[in-house]
Structure 1
């Protein structure tokens, strides 16, 4: 299973590289990414609920990354997620295996960059995109949890069920809360203002 996951991970990272070849990162976009990632990291350190092995519910730390994706598109969004994932290691990250690192700290965070998958011109599309991005990231973490953290499941509990409960009650819940908050934020105005003068 680890070999299969490794191959899929390499393919996904390769697709990211192809995406970045056609993505123009201007100085303005790079500065925005840096600022939003910094905000995301600060919010990540504020946890409402802390789980063992690094999980929990934070103060909407995924929101800034999703905003980058909604404003500037998939490439910048994926890049912001990638940087955010690496930074999360600074706050007591848990690494059990190189592939687990890629799943939990790279791919799961890069998935947040998919928030603009359904467009950004309507509130319903924005909410759907945020839910999609959050769920995709949660699924990646669930796979990692099943493969690499199954030994922490309570006696008699299926490791896959344990990982599903662990991740969807933390990252999954935060994704839903983030989508609800996004519904209250005038993203259309943010997008319009952010793109003024964008080269």
Structure 2
């Protein structure tokens, strides 16, 4: 691994630590109720089950699953980013059961932890309008895919076809897999009756 990659890896670790500190700070002010903890566990388990149903599986990992991003993003829209990010973290930890490929601490975060956590930002623009919901979902999935792209460029460039720029390869690889799934999930969420879900879960729509 080049010295530049090592430096970038350190930067990623520092930024990740800062992200976790902000998350922990938010969680101190946002105490989870027993009901929310149970729902996080249920939805995270649903995400894991859906992730095991793959329509397309790529040779170096990843692919398109049966909307495994949906439960995390839906929780983020219904309950807010703290619950959404927590659900993403739990989902990521459950996925580790499958046996992660770890070649660097920064790569581990970029491939397994951060992409799931940022899905919890899906409700960042609110849930009172369909446009806001869609914009939040696109932002969350874009950030998630970006994590995979950075990991691909820094740690899996050797898999790029001969003569192909590693950045182009990583973009094509990850946008055509996680990116496509994220877009389809964002569109699907538009057809979910959010207000009805809120009433069933007894959530104030102005939350």
Q: TM-score, normalised by structure 1?
A: 0.94
Trace 1:92-131 onto structure 2 (pairs within 5 A).
Answer: 92-131=99-138
Structure 2 CA distance for partners of 1:54 and 1:93, relative to 1, 3 Å: farther
How far the C-alpha of 1:97 sits from its partner, in A, is: 1.5
1:159-180 Cα deviation digits (max 9, x unpaired): 1111111111111000100011
Equivalent in the alignment of 2:196: 189
**Structure 1: 5+ residue stretches without partners:** none
Q: 2:41 matched to 1:14?
A: no
Q: Secondary structure at the match of 1:48?
A: strand
State whether residues 53 and 94 of structure 1, in contact with CA within 8 Å, keep that contact through their aligned partners in structure 2: no
Equivalent in the alignment of 1:25: 32
Q: CA RMSD in A?
A: 1.3
How far the C-alpha of 1:185 sits from its partner, in A, is: 1.1
Equivalent in the alignment of 1:44: 51
1:36-86 Cα deviation digits (max 9, x unpaired): 001110000000100123210000000000111111111110010011112
State whether residues 150 and 159 of structure 1, in contact with CA within 8 Å, keep that contact through their aligned partners in structure 2: yes
Q: TM-score, normalised by structure 2?
A: 0.91
**Structure 2: 5+ residue stretches without partners:** 1-7
